[in-house]
Structure 1
Amino acid sequence: MKVLVPVKRVIDYNVKVRVKADGSGVDLANVKMSMNPFDEIAVEEAIRLKEKGIATEVVVVSIGVKQAQETLRNALAMGADRAILIEAAADVHTDIEPLAVAKLLAAVVKEEAPGLVLAGKQAIDNDMNATGQMLAALLGQAQATFASELVIEGDKAKVTREVDGGLQVIEVKLPAVVTVDLRLNEPRYASLPNIMKAKAKPLATKTPGDYGVDVTPRLTVVKTTEPAGRKAGVKVASVEELVAKLKDEAGVI
């Protein structure tokens, strides 16, 4: 079974995001970029499936700027077999919208015919949480989102989902689209030998035109602002004082 994993190049999660002075977007000058953490978990899970003998090939695909090659090489160093880069933008400030990404991924899926698509539940830059669901809809395949555990049994996948009320276990028929959550696994670090080997692994470069997909934005960002600063809290000396403040000042009880 072939496993396809979409990965996105985002601002590193350790970096403090800063907004441009004119409010036109996020400042990316000299900012460290890395693989979206949820996508990294998806790559790790795909590699583990291959190590168990369930998956035969792991293919990673990224949609965005040319610099995403570095992100793909990192996935290859982790253990993926080959990569596909769809150069859909020339400017690093251009974010391809989820529907366009889903359409491109759907075209890749039809070309590669994977038995499973493993994707991060969302990207930490725009937090859309929409691409996986849109992809499943376009393909007409089953979907399981927010996966914290994945078990492949024959032509079915048993997925434990994290929902508001706790955990939900569902079974979907393959091929399917599964989006992963934080607690699914702990991604490995790429070793130096594997980083060197990744340079020799295949990385194909495509364009949206190769798949007949229009990536023209449907949304316009009017303004970007930083969140308002939080007010300092207060200390209370007793439970009685806490209850009084919650009742009289906050009005929550």
Structure 2
Amino acid sequence: MSSWQDNCTEDVRLDIRLAIEQVHSSWRPVIEEGLQQVHIASPNYFSGLQASTYLPNQARLFAAFSMPMDAVRYVLMGEGPYPRTDSATGYCFMDGAVKSLWSDEEGGGLSKKVNRATSLRNFMKMLLVASGHLQQEATTGAAVADVVAKLRQADSGYIQSLEDLQDNLIAQGFLLLNASLVFRADTAPVKDAKAWQPFLQTVLSALYQYQQAAAMRAPVLVLWGKIAEQLRPMPEASVYEQICAEHPYNLSFIGNQTMQDFFRPMDLLKKLPEGKIL
């Protein structure tokens, strides 16, 4: 049987192999098997990646798998990577172009780069509503600015950067994935997502079996958007407790009561305790 590497150009093969080297050791055989399953289902898929530039690049394709399998408590599934080189990090909704979460301008709210990343912006506003900092009916303009003026203070006890938010999510046990691991400007996200389904089925199956063998509680599968929800009926996903919501690029996500209730106990806007190990 041919390997997924057989149809890759040297550039694609090198990028994928470098990406695999950076994941946690517990994931490496799973990722290799997942890639093979993609190849079996779509033999020409990996050769096609060279024909059009894909993101994330710079060996960040599997960045989310840097956490060990036994640390996963939630699998958060978005749609696909951000369509910008700096933004696509390999973690869903974590826009690499964003540094500060809050604007440093007088009377400013969320930073300009957060506002540009629509999904991240709405996720932040949902967290602000869930934590009681914002009222659901007032999540724009002056209301956000008033809250941010307090949160951005150095001694506020609240996170200041996207890196802080990502650290908090990982500390809570979130595996931050996308239904499609790549973005290509000339390919519909739903098409790439379909090609990556065998990979995600392999990941979900291996994670469930690993944690069952360790007598751990199975992670919760959080699906955002219609593309992610296509995983829902698959046998590998059906064994998980599932929570579904609209994609965060929809304004309605801010007021989604299920999401507010789910995230409220996590206090993701609070800084991690000193010395907290991720």
**Greater share of strand:** 1
TM-score, normalized by the shorter chain, greater than 0.5 = no
The structure richer in helix per residue is: 2
TM-score (norm 1): 0.31
Q: Which has the larger radius of gyration?
A: 1
State TM-score, norm by structure 2.
Answer: 0.29
